[in-house]
């Protein structure tokens, strides 16, 4: 008798990814995570610094977008 493993509170796609039911997708996810880890390690930046810079960029773009939209009347 074969039992299926279920992970509660996640979608079917996430479950398939975590349980390696789709090997190419799981391998690509593992490679992406490993690449991101090595880039962070070699760059000397922390995740917090990158998140803060990303948030600053997002707020700056929203500010500029708001001012430009006011000038062109949108």
Residues 6+ apart with CB under 8 A from 40: 46, 47, 50
Tens-place pLDDT, residues 34-56: 999 898 889 888 889 989 999 99
Q: What is the Cα–Cα distance from 8 to 32, expressed in whole angstroms?
A: 25
User: Each residue of 54-68: pLDDT tens digit?
Assistant: 999 999 999 999 999
- Write out the two tokens for 45: 């930046």
- Model pTM score: 0.59
The pLDDT assigned to 73 comes to 79
Q: Which has more confidence, 20 or 5? A: 20
Q: What angle do CA 38, 43, 47 make, to 5 degrees?
A: 75
The structure tokens 């509170």 sit at 9
Q: What's the rounded mean pLDDT across residues 13-39?
A: 92
For the chain, the structural domain boundaries read 1-43, 44-74
**Average pLDDT for 3-32:** 88
């Amino acid at each position: 008798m074969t039992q299926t493993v279920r992970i509660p509170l996640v979608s079917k796609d996430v479950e398939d990814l975590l349980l390696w039911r789709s090997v190419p997708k799981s391998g690509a996810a593992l490679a992406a995570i490993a690449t991101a880890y090595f880039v962070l390690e070699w760059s000397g930046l922390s995740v917090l610094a990158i998140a803060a810079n990303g948030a600053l960029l997002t707020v700056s773009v929203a500010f500029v977008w708001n001012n430009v939209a006011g000038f062109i009347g949108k």
